[in-house]
């Protein structure tokens, strides 16, 4: 068992070294993206004003409420304040059964909001913080959450959108960017700690857990073809329900991804999930019972304990959310420590680790030895998952390299 107090000091130093490395940005990508987004926003606002026959500010909740009311759409009010609920989820849920014209207005409103968020949070936010040589240094905090997940600020790089924006993250001359990401880590941890045979057998045979659940949900035989869309629904179900989502929350998660799945359908997914993973259900129930009786739940490695009071404080007094998080805390606590331990070992071996994003590490690797070093980083990450409590469930990572964070290829 690790000495957690000593390790926390070491991982704090690891985090500090990651901060000092920083990211090199291509400023021209950001400035071009800024010009494109500003032009796109202007066009969306003009179209919205044309339809409304007046100037409308989509960033204003009262004006958004008035706009939809004029179209015959009644948005709900917030239960806590009674004010109009003009959130993206509220709008999406309300307009889904309305006319194409109404849905088009919703797309315009949310499109403007999305552009403003990207401009303020990412483009302008990064341009304000990058230094004259093009280097950006985010601030990392360990632990950033109650389950030890690293947090990032000034700016936050944890939620950088995929696609064009990541082209701005480039490697210095003579280097490539490498990203090494744990594969389905929470499901693998759940399979190990709950001794869930349905998942253990999939992982130990090199199978696909999302495909397995998808075939059960949609009643597709072994020889049948499970579509990409159905597999994605199974993936969302796997991770959503593992973290305690009910049918209503799961339906909202699908809607945020642009996929409408009714609450009744999600109830059916819910039943299949728990009928499949009976050992995980038993494990979760035991965790909750322990917390409710005044006991503590522990990380699989030992050393750290959580009480219900800890979780209630972390969730601002919400006891139900506290119980769900407490039951999940041992599972969610594993990946952040594994990833930072891997960063510590990589640094010891001379690898320039520049960031941790969720369950992945980012690094700069010399171009001439990039593939060899990428596989070395992969081995380092996978070696962190070889403790006895894994019970033979393989801990795997996927690794990619490229000239920037968007254009990458897999290394095997």
Beta-carbon-side half-sphere exposure of residue 404 (alpha carbons within 13 Å) = 15
Rounded to whole angstroms, the Cα distance separating 189 from 173 reads 39
Rounded to whole angstroms, the Cα distance separating 233 from 230 reads 5
User: Contact, 338 vs 381, CB < 8 A?
Assistant: yes
Region of 38 please: left (phi>0), alpha (psi -120 to 50) or beta.
alpha
Beta-carbon-side half-sphere exposure of residue 57 (alpha carbons within 13 Å) = 5
Average pLDDT along the chain: 92
* Residue-level pLDDT at 144: 63
3-class DSSP assignment, residue 304: coil
DSSP one-letter string for 144-162: -STT---EEESS--TTPPS
Q: Where in the chain is the domain with CATH 1.20.1060.10?
A: 27-136
* Residue-level pLDDT at 81: 80
Q: Where in the chain is the domain with CATH 3.30.70.370?
A: 4-22+138-185+335-410
pLDDT band (50, 70, 90) for residue 46: very high
163-191 mean pLDDT:
95
pLDDT in tens, 355-387: 999 899 999 999 999 999 999 999 999 999 988
User: Contact, 393 vs 191, CB < 8 A?
Assistant: yes
Q: Select from 3.30.70.370, 3.30.530.20, 1.10.357.10, 3.40.50.720 the CATH code of 4-22+138-185+335-410.
A: 3.30.70.370
Q: Phi/psi at 356 (nearest 5 deg)?
A: -120, 120
- Flag whether pLDDT at 303 surpasses 80: no
* Residue-level pLDDT at 166: 93
pLDDT in tens, 385-397: 988 999 999 999 9
183-204 mean pLDDT:
96
**Has this prediction a pTM greater than 0.75?**
yes
* Residue-level pLDDT at 312: 83
* Residue-level pLDDT at 408: 97
330-345 mean pLDDT:
93
| Token code pair at residue 272 | 């299949």
The Cα-based distances of 205 to 57, 78, 185 in angstroms read 54, 48, 16
| CA 222 to chain CA centroid, nearest Å | 30
pLDDT band (50, 70, 90) for residue 304: low
Sheet (strand 23-25) strand order? 135-136, 23-25, 169-170
The Cα-based distances of 68 to 51, 80, 90, 185, 403 in angstroms read 11, 21, 12, 43, 45
Handedness of CA 246, 249, 252, 256 (dihedral sign): negative
- Flag whether pLDDT at 1 surpasses 70: no
311-333 mean pLDDT:
84
273-300 mean pLDDT:
93
* Residue-level pLDDT at 17: 95
* Residue-level pLDDT at 147: 76
Beta-carbon-side half-sphere exposure of residue 83 (alpha carbons within 13 Å) = 8
Question: What is the third-level CATH fold of 27-136?
Answer: Taq DNA Polymerase; Chain T, domain 4 (1.20.1060)
Task: Find tokens 């990651």 and name the residue.
Answer: 18
DSSP-derived letter for residue 55 is -
Report the percent of the chain where pLDDT is more than 90.
73
């Amino acid at each position: 068992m690790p000495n957690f107090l000593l390790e926390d000091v070491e991982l704090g130093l690891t985090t500090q070294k990651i901060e000092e490395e920083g990211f090199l940005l291509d400023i021209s990508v950001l400035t071009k993206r800024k010009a494109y987004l500003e032009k796109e926003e202007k066009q969306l606002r003009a179209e919205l004003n044309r339809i409304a026959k007046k100037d409308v500010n989509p960033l204003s909740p009262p004006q958004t409420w008035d706009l939809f009311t004029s179209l015959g759409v009644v948005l709900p009010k917030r239960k806590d304040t009674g004010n109009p609920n003009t959130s993206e989820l509220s709008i999406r849920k309300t307009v889904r059964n309305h006319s194409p014209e109404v849905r088009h207005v919703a797309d315009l409103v949310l499109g403007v909001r999305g552009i403003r968020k990207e401009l303020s949070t990412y483009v302008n936010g990064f341009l304000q913080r990058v230094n004259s040589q093009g280097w950006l240094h985010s601030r990392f905090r360990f632990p950033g959450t109650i389950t030890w997940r690293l947090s990032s600020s000034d700016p936050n790089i944890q939620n950088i959108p995929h696609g064009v924006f990541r082209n701005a993250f480039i490697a210095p001359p003579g280097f490539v960017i490498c990203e090494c990401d744990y594969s389905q880590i929470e499901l693998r941890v759940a399979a190990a700690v709950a001794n869930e045979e349905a998942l253990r057998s999939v992982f130990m045979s090199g199978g696909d857990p999302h495909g397995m659940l998808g075939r059960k949900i949609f009643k597709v035989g072994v020889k049948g073809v499970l579509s990409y869309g159905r597999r994605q629904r199974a993936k969302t179900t796997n991770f959503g329900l593992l973290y305690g989502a009910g049918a209503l929350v799961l339906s909202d998660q699908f809607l945020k991804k642009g996929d409408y799945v009714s609450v009744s359908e999600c109830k059916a997914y819910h039943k299949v999930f728990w009928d499949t993973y009976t050992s995980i259900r038993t494990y979760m129930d035991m965790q909750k019972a322990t917390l409710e009786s005044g006991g503590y739940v522990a990380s699989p490695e030992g050393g750290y304990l959580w009480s219900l009071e800890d979780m209630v404080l972390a969730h601002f007094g919400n006891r139900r959310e506290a119980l769900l998080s407490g039951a999940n805390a041992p599972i969610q606590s594993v990946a952040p420590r594994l990833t930072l331990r891997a960063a510590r070992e990589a640094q010891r071996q001379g690898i320039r680790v520049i960031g941790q994003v969720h369950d992945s590490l980012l690094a700069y690797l010399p171009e001439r030895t990039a593939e060899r070093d990428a596989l070395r980083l992969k081995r380092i990450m996978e070696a962190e998952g070889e403790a006895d409590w894994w019970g033979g469930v393989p801990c795997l990572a996927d690794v990619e390299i490229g000239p920037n964070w968007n254009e990458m290829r897999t290394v095997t």
